[in-house]
Amino acid sequence: MADYFCWPLWVSTGESLAVNTDPSDLPISPHLASDLVSWAQAFDQILNQEYPPDSAFADAATETAFYRTGMLLACRLAIELNGQHEIVYFDPRREEPDRNLPILAGGRVKVLDGILHLPDYWCDVSTDPGQRHPLEARLRLEVSRKHVLKGKQTVVLARCGRCDDILVHLPDQRAYAIVHLTWSRSREADPQWPRTDIHTDPAKLLADLTSRH
C-alpha cells in the first residue's frame, strides 16, 4: 500500500500488528525492491505539505496508472515470494483490499490484462532479435518429426538465467510452452526431448515458472 513517507510494505506474522518493512529486507530481487521504493517515492511527491488534505494526483489518468503499477508490483512480489506470504494489495479507491492476486501458494498469480511478469532470473528476449532468433533456430534444430512442437508456430519470449529453459509463445494455440533445450549436436531422436510443458492457463504457467528453481 502507498502511504506518505513509509515503505510500501507492511508485514504481519499474524500474532502482532503489521510492521512497516523495507523491501530490501525481504528475500526478493534487488530490482523488485528498487521498483517498490520508487513507487512509494512517486506517491510522496503528490503530498501537499502546506495543506495535506489537498494532496492529489495531477489527473485521473495519472492516478489510475499509479495504482495499476502498484497492482503489478504486488503480482511480481507474489511471484518472487512464491507462496511464502499472502500478498494483499490496498487501493484506497476500493472498499475492500484486493486478495485475488495471490491465488494460492505455489506462485499462482492473477495478472491484469494478461500481462505476464516473469521471475527476476528470467531474461526477456522478445524484443531482441539477436538473442531471440538463435534460440528459435536452436529449437527448430532439436525438435524431431514426432515432437509436440513440430509444425507449430513458435516465438521465443524469454530464457532462464539459471538453466537451459526457454519460454515460447504458441500463437496458433493461444498457449505458452516451457522448453528445456538440450544443446545436443544433432536433432533429438526421442520426441520427449527437448522436454516441453504446454500451458493455456496463465496461473499454471506462472506456477511452473516459479517452481523449477
Q: Could you write out the DSSP letters of every residue in 182-206?
A: ---SS--SSTT-SEEEEES-HHHHH
- Between CA 37 and CA 14 the distance in angstroms is 24
Whether 180 and 164 have beta carbons less than 8 Å apart is answered as yes
The DSSP element (H or E) to which 41 belongs, if any, is helix 30-44
CA distances from 42 to 31, 63, 82, 84 (A): 17, 11, 27, 28
- Contacts (Cβ under 8 Å, ≥6 apart) of 131: 123, 125, 159
**pLDDT in single tens digits along all 213 residues of the chain:** 888 889 888 888 766 678 889 999 998 889 889 999 999 999 999 988 888 888 889 898 899 889 888 877 887 887 777 667 777 888 888 777 655 553 333 333 444 445 566 777 788 888 899 999 999 999 999 999 999 999 999 999 889 988 999 999 998 888 889 999 999 888 888 989 999 999 887 667 776 776 666
User: Which amino acid, one-letter code, is at 112?
Assistant: L
- Between CA 165 and CA 152 the distance in angstroms is 18
Burial-class residue 148 by CB neighbours within 10 Å (0-12, 13-18, 19+).
middle
For the entire predicted model, the pTM comes to 0.59
- Looking only at the bridges linking them, the beta strands covering 9-11 and 19-21 are antiparallel
Q: For residue 111, what pLDDT is reported?
A: 43
